[in-house]
Chain A
């Protein structure tokens, strides 16, 4: 049976520490935009921790909400791409094929979650910061859309490893970088097609909601509501 990769984010566990944000930068060769570009709203954060204030002093409260590509089953970004750079893989991922992307940016406009990022310029690493680049991940050049891949390089690596050892993938054997780094275990990654996986178990929780679920995009990222 093919895998169906999915994630559960327990908002009751999330502390807003943003370890996932830096983990993602380190794993996926995401350049820092620098002050000028950041001021223009051009940072690339494949995952970000959104925070929403509720109430006024002294009863102010905060809600944290990590947002990454929701890997929607009915992804609004996919049908609008004229070149199939954005498409759905057999394992339920929204893939972005960099070499096929011509940069219409249509997908980014269509995405309700604003989790697609555009290379407005060629990325720059001041030497020797380039030595940190992960050779398992492409370095995207100017004019290309990019987005969270659920760390597809890790998925591939684990699948190739399992195949070499002639065995099935184990639940929790590998994790995307954000999930790996998450101290309070707010993020759990796994195969929804495996009923025994932790992600399947958590997805059945009564606290499960989908981000902008009313849009019908059928996200594969599940959020467990904060208050039990």
Chain B
């Protein structure tokens, strides 16, 4: 173990700085942290060991012995992930050490968007931004915009306070694949504007409408833990599940029954199943329950959704519908969930409400706690409550921003603060994001990387990497108890960066007046302490005699939760058993009176004759929505269904390929009314013949050395169709046509199975 430390040659020219911390070399310490690679909010343990890093101190290059993060694992005490961590979470280490991470504040030197920057000092950078903000505050405070990925925990509170006291509109939280439709549906059906927590460990049967719950949807680690228990955790009792989707996801690949269904008609299928159940005389149900008010015709037994009629619309056979209904009601404890593509249609809310209604129907017949529940909110004093208007749609927000800039509306944004959101890459072309960003007079970015959006910035104030930051997160799903994750920095900052919340606090204090008054904390950790200390009053994982002990224990444990931390899995089971407060039993009145939902045909962009294929962009198992494409571990992780690495690809049914004379690995062009992309073809038996699918994630032009100029971005050809009620982007509602471009050689498809690019791999499965 001594050897690695000494690989620098003895005559190394760099000086050595005195270390700030005393570490025993070769001995690992495990420090808690939180995962920020997706929204699930898993707890981490970071393996920290002493190592030698090249750093810059006071403008001087040198070496210093410091604690370095070596590995990320799940925090066994954290109620969401119980010591487990997915591939993406583990790759978070590479965010910290990424060679393209920004190391100093940058000031633009070239033309806007040219990517030419020069390093400046923090004083200079903050001075410049402060001048901009001060000027704006006196002239047009409403013209300040803040655009970020959905912020976690107190960060959101901090930013909201800053903006509010500044006089600016609320922050725009943007993520390309948001869950606004499901949140809205859950609010209507169950009274919770959240995604559900699944207790799969108790499940005997699960019917999933498109929810990739083992891969990218909701809280995958928590759900995978439950899945293992559902399959083999109870001797003699193996839970089964059926997946309804027209392109087989990683979850669908594990299903006992995989049923393709015409895109956008999942709600019809759910009601078809409900119809069968409602006709079942032996099955006791309440005809005037919540579903009855939400779904037209429910009280009458859904006469428009007989299996035969549903078969015509969905393509799922009446026999299969009857079987699903039977399995759902006769397999013990069952549940129905929806997620992903079915929500991304113009009638997404209807689909969600229909599935939720089916879930309520199945659940109401039992007197056991439901498998679906909603993680209770943590009683923070100043919690930034979810907006009363219901869930905000990312697309509507970003579109409004863009339109107001481009049309020159009153209070059009003049200064944009950007924090890791990348709409230039991920918003559909119709939003004209690049134009809009270019037209905003001043853009400052907090991102750690230059991406397609922050390349337009005038000023970059690089944030710490998550492992260098104070983190807090309140997972909205994945645990049945209240969970508030918190972690101090696991390692010292490697580069000349500053934490975004501290920069905001600093800016606020310097702006003075009401802004300074609204931000009474010197640093972000002070703010966190103020928010967390009141939790000591509530029974939970930490037993402390005073605030100091509580605060230090919160940091040691990686957060606070309302069940004792000691018995993770057992605790979850116990909490489940005790949680009679299953979701539907505690409904809040849905906001406003609302007509019962009727089925409306999903709208698609493009005429079926010209654009014969449905187009499905889907979140990549490795790269998520593209924000993780810069991490080499994830780029080189073979996609589990196609085995592709470092590539993008188009999934086609072999029949389709044969008809269009497309060979495996050949370059294919996909054209919608809004543009076209090229990618190599992968033939997959797990996709409907009228559908082509493409993973999101590649196609970056400006995102570090590992992601730039690789593959194609399917989001770039999406139509700006939205879900009718929530305004969410209907990202599965674009139709496309397909053409063979040919040439295996130019396709750059790298498949693990098959060994080499361009080699059409035949497979004969044998062991």
A76 to B518, CA, bound (A): 70
| A58 & B232 in contact (Cβ 8 Å cutoff) | no
In the complex with contacts A17-B220, A126-B99, A228-B238, A12-B232 CB distance below 8 A: yes
User: Is B510 part of the binding interface, using a Cβ–Cβ cutoff of 8 Å?
Assistant: no
A55 interface residue (CB < 8 Å to B): yes
CB distance from A67 to the nearest CB of B (A): 10
Flag if B755 contacts A52 (CB, 8 Å): no
Contacts of B635 in A (CB 8 A): 32, 35
Contact between A132 and B260, CB atoms less than 8 A apart? no
Tell me the minimal C-beta distance from B54 to chain A in angstroms: 7
Q: Does A38 touch B at the CB level, under 8 Å?
A: yes
Q: Is the CB of B224 within 8 A of A15?
A: yes
Question: Scoring A residues 36 to 66 as 1 if CB is less than 8 Å from chain B, else 0, what string do you get?
Answer: 0011110101001111111111101111100
Residues of A within 8 A of B232 (CB): 10, 12-13, 224, 228
Contacts of A53 in B (CB 8 A): 684-686, 763, 765
Q: Which B residue's beta carbon lies closest to that of A29? A: B4
Assess whether B87 is interfacial by the CB under 8 Å rule.
Answer: yes
B86 at the interface (CB under 8 A from A): yes
Q: Which of B26, B71, B250, B765 contacts A15 (CB 8 A)?
A: B250
The residues in B between 59 and 107 inclusive whose CB is less than 8 angstroms from any CB of A are: 68-74, 81, 83-91, 93-94, 96-99
Q: Are A131 and B68 in contact (CB under 8 A)?
A: yes
Which residues of the partner chain B approach A62 to less than 8 Å between Cβ atoms?
Answer: 248, 253-254, 641, 686
A40:B655 contact, CB within 8 angstroms: no
Chain A residues lying within 8 Å of B225, measured Cβ to Cβ, are 183-185
- Decide if B685 touches A56 in the complex (CB within 8 Å): yes
- Could you tell me if A52 and B765 are in contact, using CB atoms closer than 8 angstroms? yes
The CA of A134 and the CA of B68, in the complex, are separated in Å by 10
- Judge if B637 is at the interface, Cβ distance under 8 Å: yes
B713 interface contact, C-beta 8 A: no
Residue A204 is within 8 A (CB to CB) of chain B in the complex: no
Q: Does A111 contact B (CB under 8 A)?
A: no
User: CB-CB < 8 A to A162: which residues of B?
Assistant: none
> Any chain B CB within 8 A of the CB of A182?
yes
B753 surroundings in chain A (CB, below 8 A): 50-51
The interface-forming segment of A18-26, A78-86, A192-200 is A18-26
Q: Does A135 reach chain B (CB closer than 8 Å)?
A: yes
Tell whether, in the assembled complex, residue A128 and residue B54 are in contact, meaning their CB atoms are under 8 Å apart.
Answer: yes
**Inter-subunit contact A134/B750 (CB<8 Å):** no
Question: With an 8 A cutoff between CB atoms, is B49 at the interface?
Answer: yes
Residues in A with CB closer than 8 Å to B494 are 128, 131
Instruction: Say which residue of B4, B91, B94, B653 sits within 8 Å of A57 (CB atoms).
Output: B653
Interface residue? B1 (CB, 8 A):
yes
With beta carbons under 8 angstroms apart, the residue of A41, A127, A181, A184 that contacts B227 is A184
Shortest C-beta distance, B361 to chain A (Å), equals 27
Contact of A132 among B70, B637, B685, B710 (CB under 8 A): B70
**A211 CB–B CB distance under 8 Å:** yes
Query: Which residue, B215, B752, B763, has most C-beta atoms of chain A within 10 A?
Result: B752
Contacts of A129 in B (CB 8 A): 94, 97-99, 632
Contacting residues of chain B (608-656) with chain A, CB-CB under 8 angstroms: 621-622, 632-638, 640-641, 643, 645-646, 653-655
Residues of B near A41 (CB, < 8 A) are 755-756
Contact between B84 and A182, CB atoms less than 8 A apart:
yes
Nearest CB of A to B613, in Å: 15
Which residue from A22, A27, A57, A184 sits with its C-beta under 8 Å from B228? A184
* Assembled-state Cα–Cα distance A43/B69 (Å): 24
Q: How many residues of B contact A (CB 8 A)?
A: 87
> CB distance A181 to B85 under 8 Å?
yes
CB-CB under 8 A from B752, the residues of chain A are 43, 45, 48
> What's the minimum C-beta distance from A76 to chain B, rounded to whole angstroms?
16
Q: Mark A133-161, 1 if CB is under 8 A from B, else 0.
A: 11110010000000000000000000000
Report A-chain residues with C-beta under 8 Å of the C-beta of B389: none
The interface bits of chain B over 148-159 (1 if a CB of A lies within 8 angstroms of the residue's CB, else 0) are 000000000000
| A21, A49, A63: residue with the most chain B Cβ atoms closer than 10 Å | A21
B94's contact among A18, A19, A49, A132, by CB below 8 Å, is which?
A132
A221-B600 Cα distance, complex, nearest whole Å: 53
A53 CA / B220 CA spacing, docked (Å): 24
Q: Which residue of B lies closest to A44 (CB)?
A: B636
Residue from the list A12, A55, A181 in contact with B73, Cβ < 8 A: A181
A133 near B4 with CB under 8 A, answer yes
Asked whether, in the complex, the Cβ of B686 is within 8 Å of the Cβ of A60, the reply is: yes
Closest A residue, CB atoms, query B710:
A35
Q: Is the CB of A38 within 8 A of B84?
A: no
Q: Is the CB of A49 within 8 A of B68?
A: no
CA distance A106 to B690 in the complex (A): 48
> Would A39 and B767 count as touching, CB distance under 8 A?
no
Residue A33 lies at the interface, judged by CB distance under 8 Å to chain B: yes
A212 at the interface (CB under 8 A from B): yes
Having A56-B654, A62-B686, A183-B224, one finds 7 other A-B pairs with CB under 8 Å, namely A19-B89, A25-B636, A51-B753, A56-B685, A57-B689, A62-B254, A181-B86
Sampled A-B contacts (8; CB under 8 Å): A12-B231, A12-B232, A38-B645, A48-B638, A53-B763, A62-B641, A180-B83, A185-B228
Could you tell me which A residues sit within 8 Å of B by CB distance? 10, 12-13, 15-19, 21-23, 25-27, 32-35, 38-41, 43, 45, 48-58, 60-64, 126-136, 139, 177, 180-186, 211-212, 224, 228
